[in-house]
Structures are given as structure tokens and as C-alpha cells.
Amino acid sequence: MNVSLTEKTAKTLRIEQRIGELVGEMTVAEKIGQMNQVCLVDHAVPEDARVALRSGRIGSVLNVVNVEIVNELQRIAVEESRLGIPLLIGRDVIHGFQTVMPIPLGQAATWNPTLLKEGARFSAQEAAASGVNWTFAPMIDISRDPRWGRIAESFGEDPHLTSELGVAMVRGFQGDDLSTRGSIAACAKHFAGYGDCESGRDYATTNIPENELRNVHLRPFRATVDAGVATIMASFSDLNGIPATASEFLMRQVLRDEWQFDGFVVSDFDSISQLCVHGLTENDKDAALQAVTAGIDMEMAGACYTEHLESLIDEGRVDIGVVDELVGNILRVKFRLGLFEDPYTNPSDFPSKPNADAMRAAKTAALQSVVMLKNDHDVLPLSCGNLRSIAVIGPLADAPYEQLGTWIFDGDPALSITCLQGVHDMVGDAVDVRFVRAMDTSRSRDTASFDEAVRAAQETDLSILFLGEESILTGEAHSRADIDLPGAQVELIRRIRKAGKKVIVVILAGRPLTLTNIVDEVDAILYAWHPGTMGGTAIAELLFGIESPSGKLPATMPRMVGQIPIYYNQKNTGKPPRPHELVFIDDIAEQAPQTSFGMFAFHLDAGFSPLFPFGYGLSYAKFEYKNIRTSIHEVEIGDKLTVSAELTNNGEVGAVEVAQLYVRDLVASVTRPVRELKGFKRVYVESGQTITVEFELQTSDLAFYGRDYKLVTEPGEFRVWIGGSSYADLQSEFQVIARQRGA
């Protein structure tokens, strides 16, 4: 053997050897046991589970986070079963455990991979202290449809941003070595295309041409696989007529043959049996056959494998070699986690909870996640020095649970700093704070308390309204067909407006909402998503200028729900609108002759552009981009160039800007988007300072899947922009040229 093999390679070889030896000892029943994940309750170990564990018929459990119960489960599996194979303990640690970070869509608005990695690290530590060693995150489905409830869990509409943030979260959860204490296995989900569900209705059909699938939806998954994600979760959804759970194309051709993924694939919750509901199989036995043939290694919370796999093997319809391969994938992750050496959890090995460092990370994430959409006449930041009183109004001002957002099984609302608390903490006795909830919930249509709210607005210097969506309106199975502010919130804004004072709106929501009906009624808008445990402190610090807002939209905000799907990296079409085109039906002459009016792609009653574009966000600073340049005008395929621009802060305060790099491939063998994000960086610029922001572009960054579905960079002309949103207009261009033969 080559003695210079790195330790990592040697470790890999040892694991592969141990997998082979262990699989060689296992009975068929024990092999199927490893493919079985059961959902248990959190306060006891049922007798039937004890029996199954002793006989090696359970490989993993989910939704147990009581560390004593977890250790008891592990003890039975390790000490009372024949082969002593430890368990994977799975949990949805999506954006925090006890300390809750902003929802992933809010974290995406930070455009800060380092922050997401740190947040995931803290979440992993808190979860690991409870015995969890596997999280079902990051969710990296691309979503261009804010009606979809699960956009809250996503990183938004862009493949590049989602890839960067998904990789960061994987690295946060898994650390540099899965076997180190506090590292837990990550799970990139839902593979694949789930976010393209028709009308944004959760679980609905997805029809995605392979070119679009590869160039958009698969990119983040490839990135996380290349970054070493331990597991992948199959999607519930039907992709082009074949549910992902039965898709050999996805699970074998793409994941294994093309990407050489060597972790394991888990089904979604009971999604194997759902193949019958899809109408793909007649019964659970056929469902088991299709899933195992496709390469679903482990069944989450279902009985298809445990009840039918053995007979399928006996009948010769499933080759035991296939089962050995799938079991090997599962054991590989268990070995990499170090579970055979150290299956038990000692909570005292972990930082105490609640953890001050985790809270600090949660606050920083909340601070950087907030997007300032409007700030007329610089009404923000507020100053205690020129305020005697403020009215704090709305159903989300004092909502410790709601501000945590969706998917927080283990979040502790008692730890939440609410928006009201944050304002109180900020102003102390210097400013009188009048709080009126005005609505029991964000969905309420009861306006009985509006008079009291209006009086508070009239009797104070200005009003801050905390509005939006409760968390139950977002997340899995919670899609909305109308994405206006729910309930009577719009009427509340209009009533408060009539008091004649400044109105600041802070929106807590799990999706981009359609704000067209309020955007002209208020003086400032902060979009805070669901900001998590420390949301109140963060929002107060932004309102009073301790920090400047730096968040940028990770998803487009439509004018109207009828514009959806709407996203910045659209194709040009043969009749493109002028990007900033705003044409409304009432702009048209009274008697418009029946023609193909406009001759370009837009809606008569909504125009073309969104209310706020991808990448948009205001600051207390005033940023200006000038003098874009490319290091060379012609770049050979295989080489790289740099693109830079000057960024000046003409404002009164220093602040962070997220500078963004967009590229367009003007002519290619398949149509290409009008812009694609290819780089971004958070940069701090002092008041009056000018800095140079610089991005390196490899020609491989320009590659796309062409007509033959192979990744290719084609020679030709490219346009490039640098700016503070996807509407950046500072542009340059360069040529990619094919490397000369023999060069």
C-alpha cells in the first residue's frame, strides 16, 4: 500500500473495509432494519420498539430529543442487539434548536455564508446535546413562487446564492469532521424540483424540462454533494410523471453515476407508500420495489421496506446485492459520524443552554437579515433625542412564538425578545411607548380595537406597526393563493395613516408578500421575515440606527400575485419588455385598437417589473457604483478574469453593502437568462469612502447544461454588471474565446 496515503484516505479505506465486514455478517432482516427509520414519541421507549431494536430491525429514529430516551434507545441497539449497530437520531433542525435563528429565507437575505455556517454550528451543538446526530437540513429547493409555504424554509430563487448558503449550512452542521463532538449529519432536501410545484400549492405536480432542472434546480444539490453532505432527502413531489421517490434518473443516474454521491438517500415522511397515492403503484409492495430500485436507501416513517422487502428478495425481484449497497451507504454515514466508537450523549460535554454565544449569533443573523424596502425622507433611523412618544401597534409586536417562524419544534418562545420588548429596551424611560395590539391575530378581521390604535397614533409622535403573517400561515402545507397582508391589516394601516403622523411598518412574514396596496401609505418599511429568538433586539437596533439595514431580497417581491412565477433570472423571450417598463392598462388611449398592443411580454394590469427586485435592499448609507472594468477583454476558455468597480458611500454613516456580480451570456446553444448572479460580497464602506469591489470569474463559472445536457462554456460575448441589486445598471462586457488548438 502506498504509505503516503493521507490519513483521510486511510480512514476511508478502513471504513469501507468495516462496512464490507459488517454487511457480510448481517442477516437479511438486519439489513432491512438499517433501512428503517421510525418516528417515536419523546417520553418513553414503547415495548414494541424495544423488541424491534433488540432484533436489529430499526436503523434510525426521528423526533426523539429527550437525551435520556435517546441514550436508552442507543443502549438497547448497541448492547442488546446481535451486531450492536448504533442508531441515527434524526430531527428537523432547520434554523435553530432551542435558540432560533431567522427562518432560512431571512438568513438568505443576509447574503452571508459565514453567518449561516456559524448559526448551523450553534444549532448542531444544541441539538447534539439532546442526542440528535442527523438534521433534515438545509432545504435547498429553488422557489420562484411566494405562494408556496415552504419558500420560508428555502434560500429563495437563485441557484448561486442557494448553493453558497446551502454549502455553508452543511459545513456548519457537519464541521470539518463528522465524528467530532457537536457535528451532526446534514441532509440536502428535497431532491428535486419540489419548489416548482404548480401554483405554489405544496406537494403539487412539478413539470421541469431537464435543461431547466439541471441549470436551476439541481445546481445547489450538486454543490452540497461536492461539499460532502452526508445525506439527501427525496422529495414528495411528482417530477415529470415520476415521483422523486421512485426516480432512478435522480437517485441513480444523477446522484450516483454523475455526481458519485456516497452518502445515503432517505425518503420523505411515508413518501414510499405515497407512490400508491400518486397512482404509480398498486400496493406498498410495488412501492417498495420501485423505491429500492430507484435507490432510496432508508424509508422514513413508513412500513413498505419492513413489510415487503424480504419477500421481494426471496422472489428474486430485488437482488440482495442492491440491498447490500443501500445498507452500505447508511453504515458509511454511521461510521463517519463515529457512532460505533461513541454512540451515547453526555449533555455536559456541550455548552449550557440557553447559550449566550448562540443568542449573539441569532441576533447578528436577525440584524443582517432585515431588508429595508422604503425609507422616505430618511424617516429612519429614529432618535430618542427628538421623540417624546411612539405608538407600537399590531399583532406581531408582542408575539414571542410567531416571530420564531416555521419549523421550530424545539424553539423556546420564552427566550424570545419581542419587537415590543426590543423597543422598550432601546428607549428605556427616554420615550413614552404606547402599545396597542389592535388585532388578536394577523388573520383577524375584527376592527373593534382600531379606534384605540388610531388614538395612540394621534397622541404620539409616530407609529411603528408590526404586521405580517403568523408562523402558521407559512411552512409545509401552508401555501396561500392571496399573499397580501392577511386579515384587516391593510385597513389598520389606512386608519393609522389618517392620524397624520409618520408611519413605519415592520413586516414579519415567511414569504415575500404583495405590498402594492400599502407601499404608498407608509413612510418606511423594514422586512424582517420571521427573525427568530433575538428578532426584537435586532429590529430595535435597526430602527434606532445602532446598525444600518444591510439585508438584500433573496426572492423577488411581485406587485400582484398574478405575476407569479416572477424572478430576476428570466429568459429574454422573443418580445422582451424594457426591464423597468411600467405599462398599465389605464396608460392606454381610450380606444385602443385591437392590436398586439405593446408587442412585448408584460401584463396589461401589472406591467413587467416586480415591486422590489431580487437583490434589492436600502441602507442608511448612500451607495454609488462607478467605473466597472474587466481585467481583460478576451478570456480563453479555462482561464479567468476579474471584474471590479468603485463603490462610494455618499451617506452620513458607515455601513455594509452587499455588492453583487451578474453575468449574461448573450448568445448560446440554448437560451440563457437575462442575468445570472455569479458573485456577491458584503463590504463595509465608511461615510465618504470609496473602495474597489473585485470579483474573480472563471470561465467555468459561465458553464451551463446545453442541448446534450452536458456542462459547457461556450465562446461568445458576455455582459457583466456590478451593483446593489439585480437591477444594477453599471455594466461592461467581455469575450470568451475558445483556446487556440495546441495552445
Active site residues: 268
Residue 97 contacts ligand GLC per CB under 6 A: no
Using DSSP's 3-state secondary structure scheme, residue 35 falls into coil
Q: Based on CB atoms, which residue is closest to ligand GLC, 478 or 678?
A: 478
CA 717 to the chain's CA centroid: 33
The binder of ligand GLC chosen from 11, 204, 252, 269 (CB under 6 A):
269
Nearest approach in angstroms of CB 477 to ligand GLC is 8
Q: Based on CB atoms, which residue is closest to ligand GLC, 158 or 476?
A: 476
Task: Please check whether residue 542 is in contact with residue 370, taking contact to mean a CB–CB distance below 8 angstroms.
Answer: yes
With a CB cutoff of 8 Å and minimum separation 6, the contacts of 498 are 454
| Long-range CB contacts (within 8 A, 24+) of 277-283 | 278/238, 278/243, 280/242, 280/243, 280/246, 281/246
Question: Binding mask 544-563 vs ligand GLC (x if CB under 6 A, - otherwise)?
Answer: --------------------
With a CB cutoff of 8 Å and minimum separation 6, the contacts of 219 are 159, 160, 162, 163
Say if residue 144 is exposed, middle or buried (CB neighbours under 10 Å; 0-12, 13-18, 19+).
buried
Residue 336: enclosing H or E segment and its boundaries? helix 320-336
Q: Which of 403, 563, 562 is nearest to 474 (CA)?
A: 403
Residue 299 contacts ligand GLC per CB under 6 A: no
> What's the Cα-to-Cα distance from 645 to each of 18, 689, 724, rounded to whole Å?
54, 14, 12
Supply 700's cell numbers: 467555468
Cα 276 to Cα 285: distance, rounded to the nearest angstrom: 10
Q: Based on CB atoms, which residue is closest to ligand GLC, 268 or 469?
A: 268
Q: Based on CB atoms, which residue is closest to ligand GLC, 272 or 313?
A: 272
Question: Binding mask 67-96 vs ligand GLC (x if CB under 6 A, - otherwise)?
Answer: -------------------------x----
* Residue of closest CB approach to ligand GLC: 136
Residue 364: phi, psi to the nearest 5? Answer: -60, -40
Nearest approach in angstroms of CB 414 to ligand GLC is 24
Residue 657 contacts ligand GLC per CB under 6 A: no
Question: Binding mask 458-477 vs ligand GLC (x if CB under 6 A, - otherwise)?
Answer: ------------------x-
Q: Which of 260, 259, 245, 330 is nearest to 293 (CA)?
A: 245
State which of positions 364-403 bind ligand GLC (CB under 6 A): none
DSSP letter at 589 equals -
Nearest approach in angstroms of CB 38 to ligand GLC is 12
Q: Based on CB atoms, which residue is closest to ligand GLC, 475 or 531?
A: 475
Q: Where are the beta strands (DSSP E) in 155-303?
A: 187-191, 231-234, 238-239, 242-243, 264-266, 299-300
Nearest approach in angstroms of CB 520 to ligand GLC is 38
Nearest approach in angstroms of CB 440 to ligand GLC is 29
Supply 701's cell numbers: 463559472
Exposed e or buried b per residue across 605-627, where buried means at least 16 C-beta atoms within 10 angstroms of its C-beta: ebbbbbbbbbbbbbbbbebebee
Nearest approach in angstroms of CB 441 to ligand GLC is 25
Supply 338's cell numbers: 463515529
Residue 410 contacts ligand GLC per CB under 6 A: no
Nearest approach in angstroms of CB 476 to ligand GLC is 6
Q: Based on CB atoms, which residue is closest to ligand GLC, 298 or 697?
A: 298
Task: Please check whether residue 106 is in contact with residue 83, taking contact to mean a CB–CB distance below 8 angstroms.
Answer: no
Which residue has 479505506 as its cell numbers? 13
Amino acid code (one letter) for 460? T
Q: Based on CB atoms, which residue is closest to ligand GLC, 37 or 660?
A: 37
Nearest approach in angstroms of CB 189 to ligand GLC is 6
Strands 231-234 and 187-191: parallel
Q: Based on CB atoms, which residue is closest to ligand GLC, 267 or 649?
A: 267
Number of residues that bind ligand GLC (CB under 6 A): 6
Nearest approach in angstroms of CB 267 to ligand GLC is 10
Nearest approach in angstroms of CB 677 to ligand GLC is 26
Residue 136 contacts ligand GLC per CB under 6 A: yes
Task: Please check whether residue 656 is in contact with residue 707, taking contact to mean a CB–CB distance below 8 angstroms.
Answer: no
Task: Please check whether residue 392 is in contact with residue 370, taking contact to mean a CB–CB distance below 8 angstroms.
Answer: no
Which residue has 461513541 as its cell numbers? 342
In this structure, what is the dihedral angle of CA atoms 710, 713, 715, 717, given to the nearest 10 degrees?
A: 120
Cα 131 to Cα 66: distance, rounded to the nearest angstrom: 7
Cα 498 to Cα 255: distance, rounded to the nearest angstrom: 58
Angle between helices 535-543 and 356-369 (to 10 degrees): 50
Q: Where are the beta strands (DSSP E) in 509-601?
A: 524-527
Cα 122 to Cα 368: distance, rounded to the nearest angstrom: 17
Q: Based on CB atoms, which residue is closest to ligand GLC, 238 or 476?
A: 476
Q: Based on CB atoms, which residue is closest to ligand GLC, 136 or 602?
A: 136
Residue 189 contacts ligand GLC per CB under 6 A: yes
Task: Please check whether residue 336 is in contact with residue 179, taking contact to mean a CB–CB distance below 8 angstroms.
Answer: yes
Nearest approach in angstroms of CB 136 to ligand GLC is 3
Residue 268 contacts ligand GLC per CB under 6 A: yes
Q: Based on CB atoms, which residue is closest to ligand GLC, 136 or 625?
A: 136
State which of positions 476-495 bind ligand GLC (CB under 6 A): 476
Nearest approach in angstroms of CB 271 to ligand GLC is 8
Cα 387 to Cα 502: distance, rounded to the nearest angstrom: 12
Say if residue 235 is exposed, middle or buried (CB neighbours under 10 Å; 0-12, 13-18, 19+).
buried
Using DSSP's 3-state secondary structure scheme, residue 300 falls into strand
Q: Based on CB atoms, which residue is closest to ligand GLC, 152 or 294?
A: 152
Cα 524 to Cα 539: distance, rounded to the nearest angstrom: 13
Q: Based on CB atoms, which residue is closest to ligand GLC, 92 or 665?
A: 92
Q: Which of 472, 485, 406 is nearest to 106 (CA)?
A: 406
Residue 135: phi, psi to the nearest 5? Answer: -110, 150
Using DSSP's 3-state secondary structure scheme, residue 705 falls into strand
Nearest approach in angstroms of CB 232 to ligand GLC is 12
State which of positions 141-170 bind ligand GLC (CB under 6 A): none
Which residue has 430516551 as its cell numbers? 69
Q: List contacts with ligand GLC (CB under 6 A).
A: 92, 136, 189, 268-269, 476
